[in-house]
Amino acid sequence: MSMQVHDRNGQDWTFSCTIKRNDSVGHFLSVGWNKFVREKDLRVDDKVTIHEEAMKKQATGTWIKVEVKRKIRLFGEDIWADV
């Protein structure tokens, strides 16, 4: 199965997905998004948001909008900037 994603910069991504089972947590969705992580240079503590209201059905499937933000310190204050 695959998940179609549209990032904030207008680029489309396709993530491979599988549903797995773990005795301690039950079923969970495993998403292979390594290329996205590498190209966006995602880091620990970055904030990834999936916008449900931006989901849209198309003939090719459902597209999901993803927003990535990184906390940076500017003039002594923390702000969240788009990645």
Q: Are strands 61-74 and 2-7 parallel, antiparallel or unpaired?
A: parallel
Give the domains, in start order, of the chain with CATH numbers.
2-82 (2.40.330.10)
pLDDT tens per residue, range 22-68: 788 777 667 777 888 888 898 999 998 877 655 555 555 566 778 88
- The stretch 12-29 carries a mean pLDDT of 77
The pLDDT value given to residue 72: 92
CB 15 within 8 A of CB 32: yes
The answer to whether 67 and 40 are in contact (CB under 8 A) is no
Residue 9 predicted with pLDDT over 80: no
pTM: 0.58
Distance CA 1, CA 16 (A): 6
Q: How far apart are CA 70 and CA 53, in angstroms?
A: 22
CA atoms within 13 A on the CB side of 24: 0
